[in-house]
Structures are given as C-alpha cells and as structure tokens.
Structure 1
Amino acid sequence: MDVTLTGETLLFPIAGDPIAQVKSPELLTRILVERGVNGIVMPAHVPAAEYPAFVAAMKATQNVRGLIATVPHKQATLALCDFPTERARFAGSVNVMHRRADGAWVGDNTDGQGYLNGVAACGYSVAGKRALLVGVGGAGAAIAYEILARGAAHLALHDADTARREAAIARLDARFPGKVSAGSADPTGYDFIGNATPVGMRAGDPLPIEAEKYERHQFVAECITQPEITPQLAIARAKGCATMSGLGMFNAQADLLVDAMTGARAEG
C-alpha cells in the first residue's frame, strides 16, 4: 500500500469506543488506493457523550468525505445523517455515511449484507433454516433483516434489552409475517446461530450464548474481530461446528463500506 499524504488527501474517520480493536483502517485505505482515491481511513476514539459534537466537527471539515461508525455509535448516527437509506431506517442504525456534492450526508447500513455475505463465503446458506440471533443493536437489527430476506424459515431474537428486542420483532414481523419470535441464549433446536453483540471482546466477558449446548450440525457466526476467535466461537469449533469469525464479516463487507463512504453505492 502506497499512500502519499498531501493537502488534497481525503479523510474517512472510523469512530468507536473503544477503537483499538478495529482492523479496518489499513484494509479500507488499501481499497481506496487501489481505486485511485487519494484518501485514508483513520481511527477515532470517541466516547458516546462526545459523539454528536465529533460528527458536527467532521461535517464542518471539508476534506472529510465519509465516516464509518462502529460500537456504540451506529444507532446515534441514524439521527445525525440527513438522508438515511431504506436499509438504514429499517435497521434503526447507520454504520457508514458519505458527503454528497451538495453537502448533505447520506447514511447507510452494510452490516447485514456483510454478515450474510461472509457466511455465504464459508459455504453456508440460511435459506430454509431455523436461525437464532443474539443482539439486535446497531448491527444486529440489520443482520436480522438480512437473515429473513435471504429466506430463513424462522428467526428467533434474543437481547438483554427486552424493549429493543420487542421493537425489532415488531418491525420484522410487519415485513416477514409469522417468521420471527423471541428467543433466548439457548441454541438448542436451531441450525444457524449468530452473535451480533460485543460480548466476548474483553477478557472476562460472559458467554453471549450457551455455547456448551452447541451441536456439530450447527453453523455459528461471530461479529467480533478482536479476538478473532472469541471464547464462544472456540467452543463451537471444538464441538465440530462450522463457523465464521468476525473477520469473515468484515472482509465480506469491506468493498461495500468503501462504496458507501465514497458515494459509489446506490442509495436505497
């Protein structure tokens, strides 16, 4: 990767709290360079309380042309963009924005497509399967939508925030009647199990799913990139389950993110 910093270099911050775990700046910058864009993706450690002011400052900085939001800022970003896409509105969150030529900011959500594209790259399809998804926050709501859009027979949702879970179920049931219900941390009876929470990122975190109940026939997917093999994913692999790590999700959506943050992605 050969980046030459000049006064014309475009900036694409990725904001989170924490941010040290993200692996995306180098990969996304490489894609920009390969596309002939003089730009860099830079990590920004921004606490939630300071995030609206940070976004305002980025909007005022004219060579900031896009912004990526990661945990815990995706839901807050929805209200901070001028024009969220239909995908983003349905998910209730935005993970990437770009500045249009007229100065307005368009927000999109690539999490669902990235997650399921990563699963597909592992040779697995959720079509016709019974799925359990744990976590319906910024990424989880988008992933839940995509699981059903790709033909899952049924999706159960579990979240420690029951109000958030019920709101997600209501939105999904309106679009996919009779195919979504409340679940628990127990993976018994499901073909596909996905973690869409940050639980497992820090040492000492509890298991987000009752992983000791995994069975060999199940596919287990993760969203966390660091550590690459979370404790619950290690259990799944030890039990013979096919798996996707969080890196699988990110690698699958890298081009989607660059398309969105540069404005190359269709708005819809």
Structure 2
Amino acid sequence: MDVRLDGETQLFPIVGDPIAQVKSPALLTGIMVARAFNGMVVPIHVSAEKLEEFITSLRDIRNVGGVVVTVPHKPASLALCDQPSERARLIGSVNVMRRLPQGGWTGDNTDGQGYMDGVAARGFDVAGKRALLVGVGGAGAAVAYEILQRGASFLAIHDLDQTRRETTIAKLDARFPGRVGAGSSDPTGFDFVANVTPVGMRDGDPLPVEADKLTGREFVADAITKPEVTPMLKIARDKGCNTMPGLGMFNAQADILVDFLLGQGATVTSTAN
C-alpha cells in the first residue's frame, strides 16, 4: 500500500536539533500505512529556544495529530504537555505527544518500553534479576523505570553525572522502594547489563562497562544503532553472552509510538499538569 497524501492526511512532526540523523519517519509512516491510516511522520528541525513556540503553534493546526520528540527536546517537552503520564512525570521527559479531544497534549515516554521489549524479544526476562544500567539521561531514565516496573529484584545505576544519578535514584526509590541504588562500571554479580549512553558510537570511545569482567551468563544490551555491534557487545558475544543491539530497541519501539500517536493499544495513565 502506498503512502497517501491529500487534504485528509494527518501530520505527525518529529522534532529535534539536529534532525538529519533520525531514521524513524519512514518506518513510522510505513506502520501507519500498513494500518490503513492516512498519516505521515515528518522530520522538523527546531532549536531549543523555539521549541515552546513551535509546539504551541501546533495547537491551531488541526491536521497535526501528535508529535514525536527526539534529542535534545525530551525534558523540555514534558512541561508542554497538559496531561503527561505518571511514567513521564517520574522520568522527567516525554518522547511522544498526542492531541487531546478537548485540545492540548497528552504525553508519554516509550523509550524504556521499546528497550525492554527488544530485550524480551531476544528471550530475556528481567523479573527477579539484578540489573546494571549505565546512563540515566532522557532515554536512560525511561529504561531504568521500565526495568523496575518489570520486576527486577535490584537496579544499580552508573552515570558520570553524579547529581543526575542521585536525583534519578531518589525518584525511583520513592516509586520502587529498596530496589534501586548506585552502581559502577563493574558488571560483576549482575544478570542484566544495559548501556543507554552514546559511549561506543565513535572510534576510540572507552567501554561503558568493564567488559573483561563479563562471564558469559549475563544478558548485555545497548541503545546505540551505529555501529550495530558496539565494542561492548562484541566482547560480550565473544564471551558467550546473549545481547541486544540498539536496533532491537529502535524496531520494538516503532509500533508502541504509533499506538500512542493514534490512540490505540494500552491506555496511558495521565496526571494533570
């Protein structure tokens, strides 16, 4: 089925700064087409200082049904949502917004769902397991929430920004008491090891964890899509670990994003802003 473009087409901007790197517009549009929905996801380059003005202007454009948000706008977009989900409020960011029937926006963060759905698709269940997470920026905080939501017995968080790490731990401990604390780059004793930082994208990057200490029994996941197999994942595979590359998160999250944009799938619990 071909993409339809006419006066009834619903538009869904994906906003970021920069935006040239995004791969999702064609994928998300293709899912809408496959569902026989007349919609299109369009990349829009918006600077941080113009984000609020841009999102506000979309309220008056009636054929804009929602917005996908990418870096660096996820934290700032939370304040622009009239009804953010409980998850988005705790995480402190949104990556998708949908127009409400009465106007305004409801928002959620699906990064954690996509990451952990990708892990689950490769046969690993985090419930009852000990997890180490490196990086709690916008996507990392969402993954942290989802690891605990899915029943991990304990989550250790490692982030070079200690203030961000401690703030995230405090928020998560209020929601999941006694199951989250500070970690390090040492993966010893963990069943699940997750990187949600850019470390590994560039030649010469250090490893996000001390991969030489992996034993082969851990499941190791990464959020990086290029290279598809990061140096950390290569070492993990060589040691016998099962792994998920960033494309696993990318592909798993696509249907979740479209579900939210079109108001399909599970209902999101929202709180008033």
**TM-score, with length taken from structure 2:** 0.91
Task: Give the CA deviation at 1:163.
Answer: 1.2
Q: Does the 8 Å contact 2:118/2:249 carry over to 1? A: yes
Q: Does the 8 Å contact 2:9/2:38 carry over to 1? A: yes
| Structure 2 unaligned blocks of 5 or more | none
Q: Deviations over 1:16-49 (max 9, x none)?
A: 2343333211221111112221111122333434
5 Å-filtered alignment, 1:214-225, equals 214-225=214-225
Q: Residues 101 and 182 from structure 1, CA distance in 2 versus in 1: closer, same or farther, beyond 3 angstroms?
A: same
Structure 2: distance between partners of 1:154 and 1:251: 27
Report the number of matched residues.
268
Mapped pair 1:56 → 2:56: yes
Structure 2: distance between partners of 1:208 and 1:50: 34
Structure 1: distance between partners of 2:159 and 2:17: 20
Residue type of the alignment partner of 2:221: A
Q: Residues 228 and 43 from structure 1, CA distance in 2 versus in 1: closer, same or farther, beyond 3 angstroms?
A: farther
Give 1:106's aligned residue.
106
Task: Supply the RMSD in Å over aligned alpha carbons.
Answer: 1.9
| Structure 1 unaligned blocks of 5 or more | none
Mapped pair 1:180 → 2:164: no
Residue type of the alignment partner of 1:83: Q
Q: Does the 8 Å contact 1:126/1:150 carry over to 2? A: yes
Give 1:148's aligned residue.
148
Residue type of the alignment partner of 1:98: R
Q: Residues 209 and 17 from structure 1, CA distance in 2 versus in 1: closer, same or farther, beyond 3 angstroms?
A: farther
Give 1:120's aligned residue.
120
Q: Residues 58 and 174 from structure 1, CA distance in 2 versus in 1: closer, same or farther, beyond 3 angstroms?
A: same
Structure 2: distance between partners of 1:58 and 1:233: 41
Q: Residues 162 and 3 from structure 1, CA distance in 2 versus in 1: closer, same or farther, beyond 3 angstroms?
A: same
Q: Deviations over 1:183-241 (max 9, x none)?
A: 11222221101111233334444332233333211111111223322232222222221
Structure 1: distance between partners of 2:201 and 2:70: 13
Structure 2: distance between partners of 1:18 and 1:160: 24
Give 2:134's aligned residue.
134
- Percent of matched pairs sharing the same residue: 66
Q: Does the 8 Å contact 1:211/1:235 carry over to 2? A: yes
